[in-house]
Structure 1
Amino acid sequence: MKIFDCDRHVMEPLFIWEKYLDNKIYQQYPVHFKHHTHDNVDLPPTYYIGSEPILKHWHKAIQLETALRPQNSSARKLAMSGLGQLQSMDQDGVDKAFIFPTFTGYIVNHESLPAEVSCAYAQAYNRWILDYCMIDKSRLIPAAIVSRHDPKSLSQQVQLIAQQGFKLITIRPEPIHGYHLGDAAYFDFWQTCQQHNINIAFHGGTHLHGQTIGSDRFESRFSLHACSHALEAQVAFLSLLEGNVFELYPNIKFMFLEAGAAWVPYWLWRLDNICYPEFPALVKDKLPKKPSDYFKNNCYVSFESGEPCLEEVVKWIGRDKLLFGSDFPHPDHQDFSIEELTLGQSLSTPDIKRALQQNPLACVGGSFA
């Protein structure tokens, strides 16, 4: 069985920025490595943009642990090119995949960058990823990235992205430069996405220089990683509800990736049964329907290999809204097998197969050969 992987990543080679970025921007804000050692151990290189480290709370203890753990260098190398990505997909039994950045999101959303630099990096990445996926556009489906530093520029960015042929944009779930997803400053963005039939994939990550939940109170990788995905996904959905985005732009499809799916039943139950009925007069104008109805109508969510409670997820949102993402080649997710996915889940085999094949096609169209 060939599957559709909804969360597969590139590893951006350093040379792409000099090639695809405006030279003036590159000279002022180059992306580069710094190499360090600790107790005679070579630490992983530290990424910088200009004088700013790209990752937040990336301290010596995490670097040392990263250096000492088994490396997936072969997978990371494959992810640097479209040809290598296809080879990895063939090895994993993957027919098609949504393709996402790894480090670009940390650059574009870095709170210290000027808006024009953030936007320039986003557009440089988009040009590169189109070339990356050119080897087989039917199998490699890239997500574009936008800069949210200046909300006034978002509509124009989306128009360019649509002209380039993208059908999917990836954004982080956090507030960026003080604007959360439901802020009125983003209404033109959502309107332009809907106009051009472009859908949204939320993909968080640990160590952003930004307002990720937990980054103001924790420094350990354990706690930062615990907060940065599932908690941000919950609040992102709430932000869209609060901003009336689902009601105003009902044709946009939203995917919540790498946060698991088991949070969905709890969160929708709480929003429907505790928060929504408390003061109905205060929510009736923004939310004529229950929160769970908006999720069922507009949203998709990816599950993790071996994740519990998926039957309850299906009860709340339906069997057609469940996706699978491998997170290849990132080390916080283990290798998967098709047999493990179809037999080792807390969900029926037909529903798992639907999530692995048919459901992603609702976002992009097409069929399996």
Structure 2
Amino acid sequence: MKLPAQIIDCDVHHALKSHMDLVPYLKEPWKSRVIKFGIQGGGGTYTSPIGVQRKDAYAADGRDAAAYPELVMEHLVDAYHMDYAILTGSTYAMSIHPDADYATAIVAAYNDYLIDQWLPNHPKLKGSMTVATQDPLQAAREIDRIGPHPDIVQVILISATHIPYGNRYYHPIYEAAERHGLPVAIHPGAEGSGISNPPTAAGYVSNYFQWHTCLSQNFMAQLVSIVLEGVFEKFPRLKFVLVEGGVAWLPHLMWRMDKNFKALRATTPWLKKMPSQYIRDHCYLTTQPIEEPDNPKHLQQIFEMMDAENILLFSSDFPHWDFDDPFMIMRGLSAEAKHKIFYENARQLYQLK
């Protein structure tokens, strides 16, 4: 099978070589704390029994391919002839740490490290800046500090929260993101850890298999909150990207919200459109991990229901175990739909040349 002619990968997990990478960008008392104890509080209640990385995501000399810009280029960007790779990292999990000042210091150091050590290496690498959501005012100041950088293309948040993202508590973050023309991405990874809520609607589960399967529950709840609390009415230029939360659940969620809106709209007087229309106007979902039914035609039907060619963004999730190879996924798409999902939607969203 041929590769799509143009590809933008919207979820590439570059990594630190060690916690010492951040030390030059930290001030005291955080610098000494990280030197002595490493980076604390990044999630990890549920861990994969097969490990996080693909077994082949290492260089011949044993180096982690995700920790070096030249190896990300070799193993992913050049190997698949990609036009851009959107770096998403993993420090967004600091938002579940109980100490807001510590978390803010870590993500600020990470943002400086990203800009200093990664983005200058190749014009195909674009960055997602991280903020700590425990203190939205500090987060907004960080967006004002980092957001103007030309290679920063979005703000990334953790999907694990103790307050849903539609709550006005987060409005300073959205106001700053909109001010700088940056989409807000939501990514999983720390559900059930730190100060976040339980990882599922039923509570705490006993293993990674259950945790990983139920991640889409969190995305559904966050999206309902964002739409029905009127975030897009208050911030009409704001865009959201739901990263790594699955996609097949979206049609039924839109149907359910639209049906309930007809009877319960008095509870959301600020909404001026059907809930599904706000999603179509303001939201994108990344493809990985794409659902894989036994009958591929069933997924194509779901794509038709959700207007997939205008709402999906390709992502590989490199270098993780459930990496999606652009050779392999979404084979039944038309050439036009494939061009939009693999390239054009992201190019327009991130304002890439």
* Pairwise CA distance, 1:246: 1.1
Q: How many residues align?
A: 333
Higher relative contact order (CA 8 A, sep 6+): 2
* Pairwise CA distance, 1:80: 0.6
For 1:169-202, what per-residue CA distance to the aligned partner results, in whole angstroms no more than 9, with x for missing partners? Answer: 0112232xx4321122222221221111111111
SS at match of 1:143: strand
Corresponding residue of 1:7:
11
The TM-score, its normalising length taken from structure 2, stands at 0.85
Tell whether the 8 Å contact from 2:164 to 2:221 is kept in structure 1 after alignment: no
Code of the aligned partner of 1:24: P
| Aligned with residue 29 of structure 2, among 24, 33, 50 | 24
Distance 2:273 2:78 in 1: 43
Corresponding residue of 2:72:
85
* Pairwise CA distance, 1:294: 0.2
Distance 1:110 1:306 in 2: 28
Gaps of 5+ in 1: 33-47
SS at match of 2:147: helix
Corresponding residue of 1:42:
none
Tell whether the 8 Å contact from 1:324 to 1:355 is kept in structure 2 after alignment: yes
* Pairwise CA distance, 1:318: 5.6
| Aligned with residue 172 of structure 1, among 154, 158, 161 | 158
Cα 1:66–1:204, aligned 2, differ >3 Å: closer, same or farther?
A: closer
Code of the aligned partner of 1:100: T
The TM-score, its normalising length taken from structure 1, stands at 0.82
Corresponding residue of 1:71:
55
| Aligned with residue 325 of structure 1, among 298, 303, 315 | 315
Tell whether the 8 Å contact from 2:205 to 2:211 is kept in structure 1 after alignment: yes
Tell whether the 8 Å contact from 1:206 to 1:225 is kept in structure 2 after alignment: no
1:103-252 correspondence runs (5 A): 104-106=91-93, 108-112=94-98, 114-131=99-116, 132-136=118-122, 138-165=123-150, 166-175=152-161, 178-206=162-190, 208-209=193-194, 210-214=196-200, 216-228=203-215, 230-252=216-238
* Pairwise CA distance, 1:269: 0.9
Gaps of 5+ in 2: 293-297
Cα 1:357–1:57, aligned 2, differ >3 Å: closer, same or farther?
A: closer
Distance 1:19 1:212 in 2: 35
Code of the aligned partner of 1:144: M
Cα 1:161–1:360, aligned 2, differ >3 Å: closer, same or farther?
A: same
Corresponding residue of 1:39:
none
Distance 1:218 1:186 in 2: 28
Corresponding residue of 1:95:
83
For 1:19-67, what per-residue CA distance to the aligned partner results, in whole angstroms no more than 9, with x for missing partners? Answer: 22224203224585xxxxxxxxxxxxxxx645x6741144xxx55x549
Identical aligned residues as a percent: 21
Cα 1:276–1:213, aligned 2, differ >3 Å: closer, same or farther?
A: farther
Tell whether the 8 Å contact from 2:107 to 2:130 is kept in structure 1 after alignment: yes
SS at match of 1:265: helix
Cα 1:221–1:105, aligned 2, differ >3 Å: closer, same or farther?
A: same
For 1:288-314, what per-residue CA distance to the aligned partner results, in whole angstroms no more than 9, with x for missing partners? Answer: 211100011101112245645244334
* Pairwise CA distance, 1:218: 0.6
Distance 2:42 2:308 in 1: 42
| Aligned with residue 280 of structure 1, among 243, 265, 272 | 265
Tell whether the 8 Å contact from 2:15 to 2:89 is kept in structure 1 after alignment: yes
| Aligned with residue 246 of structure 2, among 260, 266, 269 | 260
Quick check: 1:56 aligned with 2:45?
yes
Tell whether the 8 Å contact from 1:171 to 1:203 is kept in structure 2 after alignment: yes
For 1:67-124, what per-residue CA distance to the aligned partner results, in whole angstroms no more than 9, with x for missing partners? Answer: 9x9734417712112221111211123221111113x223x12333x11110000101
Quick check: 1:293 aligned with 2:280?
no
How large is the Cα RMSD of the aligned pairs?
A: 2.5
For 1:192-221, what per-residue CA distance to the aligned partner results, in whole angstroms no more than 9, with x for missing partners? Answer: 211111111111125543225329421211
Corresponding residue of 2:295:
none
Distance 1:159 1:337 in 2: 35
* Pairwise CA distance, 1:287: 1.7
Cα 1:94–1:306, aligned 2, differ >3 Å: closer, same or farther?
A: farther
Distance 1:9 1:221 in 2: 20
Corresponding residue of 1:40:
none
Distance 2:271 2:100 in 1: 33
Distance 2:304 2:12 in 1: 23
Distance 1:151 1:70 in 2: 35
